[in-house]
Chain A
Amino acid sequence: MSDLIQGLRNLHVLVVLPREQSADDLIQQVNRIGCQVDHSWPLPKTFQEKYDLVFLDVTDQNSEKLNQFINSSSKKQTIVAVVGYENPSMLELIFDIKAHSVLNKPIRASGVMTSMLLGQKIQSERFQFRKDLKALKDKLENVQKVNDAKFILMRHRKINDREAYALIRKQAMAKRTNTADISQAIINAESILSDFGDT
């Protein structure tokens, strides 16, 4: 968390709000906090990668257009939704665009820094969770593959579990690849051979 606070001043912030009192108040407060800030309205076509965080006015917008804007950047960026009222369709919109934090209009100076840091925290955690989840899924798939390949070898060669695994590893090392790839190859070969019907 202290890393986020420490990095606060390095943030490059985009404010996407119609130019009215709230936009002015928000821009001034972000300036006071010491961040670089740009303003853009109406909603730009693309979300430039130089920005780390965007305050996005979602009042009277649709999720399709907003998501198009958000997804136009491949970088991980923090989305703070700025809302004028909190009815169910507005809330649904906030969920739709996967906002990391929310700020209410009219803007008060106190609360802006919290929404920025909270958004950053949620965004970075969500990013990390997604990465961890993908790594876990991949790992699980690989374990499953190696297991399947081991059973094939055990059946064909009349060897035990440990010997089967040793074989797969030896092949992986010889071919400079990993056990998952070798296992996949064994599974493929097995399926081709069984299609010949001569097992």
Chain B
Amino acid sequence: MGNWKIGLLFSETGVTSIIEKSQLNGALLAIDQINENGGVLGHKIEPVRYDPGSVDQKYGELSEKLITEHKVKIIFGCYTSSSRKEVLPIIERRNALFFYPTLYEGFEYSSNVIYGGACPNQNSVPLGNYLMENYGKRLFFVGSDYIYPRESNRVMRNVVRQAGGEVLGEVYFDLEAKEIDFAAVTKEINRLKPDAIFSTVVGQSCIEFYKAYLAASGDGTTCPIASLTTNEGEIAAIGPEASAGHITAAPYFRSIESSANQKFLEAYAKKFGTTVDVTSGCETAYSQVHIFARALEETGEIDTDKLREALLGTSYDAPQGQIKIDPDNNHTYLQSRIAKVDAYGEFIIQSQVRRAIKPDPYLVFPTIYDLSFRSLDVAGGVRLDE
């Protein structure tokens, strides 16, 4: 018997390549670690890699190619929801297993997908709470124009409304938007003076947006840009000056102090020479590959139905803390943390929910009064010296 072949479908070029390269590295690191330990049941894991170039349609074509030409039944990949929606019908038709290591807007279930990222009840609600308690109730929404931002804003609008807050504006931009394209909206923000900006701008244009905000003398310490997607990779590209004071909610930040995270970062630094691009998407891809390998050890064969059985309900000590695959919906119990970027461009955790939150992908209107979504302040923040 040869190696265990798995497909990796992350864009190494194009507008979402910053984050997807980070996810790819997370997966590659886990594969290395497993292989160094003798592989799974004596056989190595062999990745088959394709670069869809951030083009939605390519994700579909390449997943078909992975399954038919390379006989791969296990695929890790995708960042945007639109690219996932391309892959979904193909893996369902072929009964393959797809690991999706990205937060998304919910309202999906497929028995062929293991969802590793946060859905709105695990990040939007704690973030909305935090913003309104610490900054104020007048918010402005800026987003990229595709499925995730629109749905995410629908949820956030509802959270804001329940707290008696107000959405001053909601604007969408092309995924290719440049700094100059944001000039009008930063001007409008200056005029309206919201308490915080909720941004669902992703990929390269996210970097452009933060820079445009600084150029328009937007100040993160008084009116932060809050996001669920802007993570370590983007912050590094934005630079400390334009990112200081801004806020992100995610299950994982590089600055988490724990031995599991320490080990993860050390291994990452050893393989890639730096930890600059370690993000929550990277951590999720890393954990998902490990979880898969453990399930494979149990089944001893790549069979979608058997692997699913082994995966559902299983828990894993990830760098973020313990996570668990919810057998009810194939999503993952995740930690919820809120962090603010300091003057050096590092996320400092401000508050967190005490235990992993159960995923609720079909929560139509999350209620902010649900106590399980409330985050608690972390004393003094947490900083990990690199």
Enumerate chain A interface residues (CB-CB to B < 8 A): 5-6, 8-9, 28-29, 31-34, 109-110, 113
Contacts and interface: CB of A to CB of B under 8 A. Distances in A.
Given A28-B328, A32-B328, A110 B110 contact: yes
Most buried by A among B111, B328, B362: B362
Dominant secondary structure of chain B at its interface with chain A: loop
B110 A113 contact: no
B107 to A, nearest CB: 8
A78 B364 CA distance: 20
B109 A110 contact: yes
B215 interface: no
A25 to B, nearest CB: 8
A113 B362 contact: yes
A54 B330 CA distance: 26
B360 interface: yes
Sorted nearest first, the 9 A-B pairs with minimum C-beta distance are A109-B109, A33-B362, A32-B329, A34-B362, A8-B364, A5-B364, A32-B109, A32-B362, A6-B365
A29 B364 contact: no
B7 interface: no
A72 B311 CA distance: 44
Interface in B98-114: 107-111
B361 interface: yes
Contacts of B111: 109
A32 B361 contact: yes
B343 interface: no
Interface string B72-113: 000000000000000000000000000000000001111100
Given A6-B364, A6-B365, A29-B109, 6 more contacts: A8-B364, A32-B329, A32-B362, A33-B362, A34-B364, A110-B109
Interface centre among A6, A8, A29, A110 (most CB of B within 10 A): A110
Nearest to B108: A110
Interface residues of B, number: 13
Given A28-B328, A31-B328, A32-B329, A109 B362 contact: no
Contacts of A9: 363-364
A34 B110 CA distance: 16
Contacts of B362: 32-34, 113
Interface string B355-371: 00000111111000000
A148 B200 CA distance: 67
Main secondary structure of the interface of A (DSSP, over half): helix
Nearest to B92: A108
10 contacts: A9-B363, A28-B328, A31-B328, A32-B109, A32-B329, A34-B363, A34-B364, A109-B109, A110-B108, A110-B110
B368 to A, nearest CB: 15
Contacts of A28: 328
B279 to A, nearest CB: 28
A6 B360 CA distance: 15
B125 to A, nearest CB: 15
Interface in B267-293: none
Contacts of A31: 328
B23 to A, nearest CB: 25
B110 A109 contact: yes
A28 B330 CA distance: 12
Nearest to A109: B109
Contact of B360 (A29, A34, A110): A34
Contacts of B360: 34
A109 B328 CA distance: 12
Contacts of A110: 108-110
Contacts of B108: 110
A23 B2 CA distance: 40
A29 B110 CA distance: 10
A8 B360 CA distance: 14
Nearest to B88: A110
Interface in B329-360: 329, 360
A176 to B, nearest CB: 47
Nearest to B327: A28
Nearest to A7: B364
Contacts of A113: 107, 362
Nearest to A5: B364
B180 to A, nearest CB: 36
B109 to A, nearest CB: 4
Contacts of A29: 109
Contacts of A5: 364
Nearest to B361: A32
A93 B172 CA distance: 47
A138 B96 CA distance: 61
A28 B109 CA distance: 11
Max count, chain A CB within 10 A of own CB: residue among B107, B109, B328, B363: B109
A109 B365 CA distance: 20
A29 B107 CA distance: 11
Contacts of A34: 360, 362-364
A113 B360 CA distance: 15
